[in-house]
Amino acid sequence: MESIEGQFPYPWHQHCKILHLVRHGQALHNVEGDKNPEALLSPNLFDAQLTPLGLKQVAKLRNEVHASGLFNRIELVVTSPLSRAMETASGCFGREGENAVSSSTPKIMAVELCRDRLGVRPCDMRRKMSDCRSRFPWIDFSMANDNLWNPELRESEEELAKRVIKLLNWVWKRPEKEIVVVSHGLVLQHILINLLANSDFNPTLTPALCKRFDNCELRSVVVLDTSKIERERWAWLCSDDKAKDVLKQCGHHSIDVATCIYLKSSLVA
């Protein structure tokens, strides 16, 4: 029998990404903020790190990622440069027990575009790059910028939403096809909201997919830019099951529990 790729030779998979979205594990500011929101202004919560429970959450997700085979398929890990996110990214996707990179581990990049809201709250302020490099020498900080913080002005949610669009454009231009993004609840929600707003996704299902992430929760989405596919060929690929069959034969295997999002227009002009 002819393979699915033979039946459908158009290289549509070149216009596809599989994104695994992960919120950081529980951090100290999560605990203190639940008790008293005003605590988030405390300098004692500067660049809040993971709690003992957060570390256990990371260990649990790491075991799940390895058991499912997902670890071996990840090509790139993009993380917020805040400590709680880098601890989560390193704990889940780094080389266990060694402060070094390995050919068996995916590259981890710290990217300012996926950090939490900027300004005012010490818990969302990160350490200087020299400190970050010392603590996480296996992470690529080439996109880091120490000059973004404003202690007197909080980044608005509208500004964050625009930043997320830049993040998605950057991710879409990357050569890797299967990418993890370790970030913060609001950033991850805006990633999904932006993708769904640009798709034919059933609006009644949007609230469930875009609900608040739990600490160390992973959600996977298959994103296909249908604007790059001829209409008659797109009509052939009209169901999630068929899309997933083609993805598997093209080398994308970790999509059984993923949500398919079909973009109506390209993320990149």
Q: Which SS3 state, helix, strand or coil, does residue 209 take?
A: helix
pLDDT at 221: 87
The helix/strand count (H/E) of the chain reads as 10, 7
pTM: 0.83
Distances from the Cα of 43 to the Cα of 27, 32, 50, 233, angstroms: 15, 12, 16, 56
- Mean pLDDT per segment of 10 residues, for the chain of length 269 residues? 38 72 95 89 92 97 92 94 96 69 79 94 92 94 89 92 93 92 95 82 71 93 71 44 50 51 59
Domains in the chain, CATH or no CATH each: 4-263 (3.40.50.1240)
pLDDT at 9: 41
Distances from the Cα of 98 to the Cα of 105, 131, 138, 186, angstroms: 12, 18, 10, 31
Between vectors from CA 206 to CA 154 and to CA 50, what angle results, nearest 5°?
Answer: 45
pLDDT at 234: 43
